[in-house]
Structure 1
Amino acid sequence: MIDLYYWPTPNGWKISIALEEMGLDYRVIPINIGKGEQFEPDFLAISPNNRMPAIIDQNPADGGASISVFETGAILIYLAEKTGKFMPADLRGRKEVIEWVMWQMAGLGPMLGQNGHFKFYAPEKIPYAQERYTTEVLRLFDVLNSRLEGRDYICGDYSIADMACWPWILTYKRQEIDLSEFPNIRRWYDSLKTRPALRRGYEVGREFGKPSGNWDEEARKNLMAQRRPAKT
């Protein structure tokens, strides 16, 4: 059994999709990031970066005590290795999948996050920031579009690289990106969204709500916080 500490966001969807695709038993433990639950001591014990998602594997492959994993790239690699699914066993294929997972972790996700922040959440419009991040996001879309030329998936067969990237591409409408400019991404995106397991993973936590772009003062405080609350 996998305990999934989760809230329905692109980063959360990466892991719920992977768990569904891999056929692993899991239970969802909600972490309401708008309420600041990511700062609770019990959660920080498994995710010291105070970010969800995180997992606890109650039955690790070595037969030892339960093991926690934080950071979505690390979780995806851990689950792929645990199940032997969605990552090649050969050196070169494995290397390639890890490269693209890291590309998403270091580039696609953070840059889309910054782009969305300065477009929709910043209390004042900063043209320089908006131009900076919009340009970088479009550059990254160009990279992925080129990668998908003549390919059904990012790395040969469907893999954790696709699971890492799809939930962020999902935000294209909200990000005001015209996906028709990126026909290979459009084809890939539409193909993947027909996968039953991916759809199930995307629907996990629907009852909690989906990112709306509307923050009340409590949510703004908790989602903008960069430091842990002071101990009292």
Structure 2
Amino acid sequence: MVAGSTLVTGGTGTLGRLVVERLRAGGADVRVLSRRSPAPYGVDLRVGKGLDAALEGVGTVVHCASNPRGGDEDAARHLLAACREAGVGHLVYISIVGVDEVPYGYYRSKFAVEKLIEESGVGYTVLRATQFHDLVVRVLAVLAKVPVMLLPAGLSDQPVDAGEVADRLAVLAGGPPAGRVPDFGGPEVLSFRDLARTYLQSTGQRRALLDVPLFGRTYRAFRQGGHLAPDARPGQRTFAQFLAAHRP
């Protein structure tokens, strides 16, 4: 275990707050860094101002902050430079399964961040996970706003529980740098039609389902399963179980 405090970036987000809870439950001294945190931890990583103060005395960073709209690479450069300056011994990064397979802009950015971390000189651990149950629910909720749910034909997903990923990150943060570790996937690979049916049953809604074929390199990579980890299923909580506990 690396000595010093643990700083969690994006510590108020869906995953970050769960990681903070797990680390504190294990007795770690945890700092929560986000744009909304009070000084000195209210830092915008895309700018980087204030990182030196936030990282003083920190031995481990769990990097959960991310923005699909852009800025992840700049944020990583600022964070890594500050980590080197502060002598941080371990950076744990949560990435996404398929970032090297699916030519989607956000995935490419996450993969670029992985490369920056690998080349940074900072001790690191990278964990890739499949999509969270929460995200799948948000997508299906939007699709269900009309009488006919339009679903991407031939597409499957492997949703995973964010709490289980947080458990894994907390364990990794308590150990030494391990490089790229095995992917973390949900317990089931389900078609979007099956996911939609499960969601509708849970919410008591009735919708017609229509599979719509899409086109392009990104869709083809998703359809071929580039975002799945069928041989790595440490997650236990199914999509149906998640919905039962979190009624949309």
Instruction: Tell me if both proteins adopt one fold, taking TM over 0.5 as the criterion.
Output: no
TM-score (norm 1): 0.29
TM-score (norm 2): 0.27
Higher strand share: 2
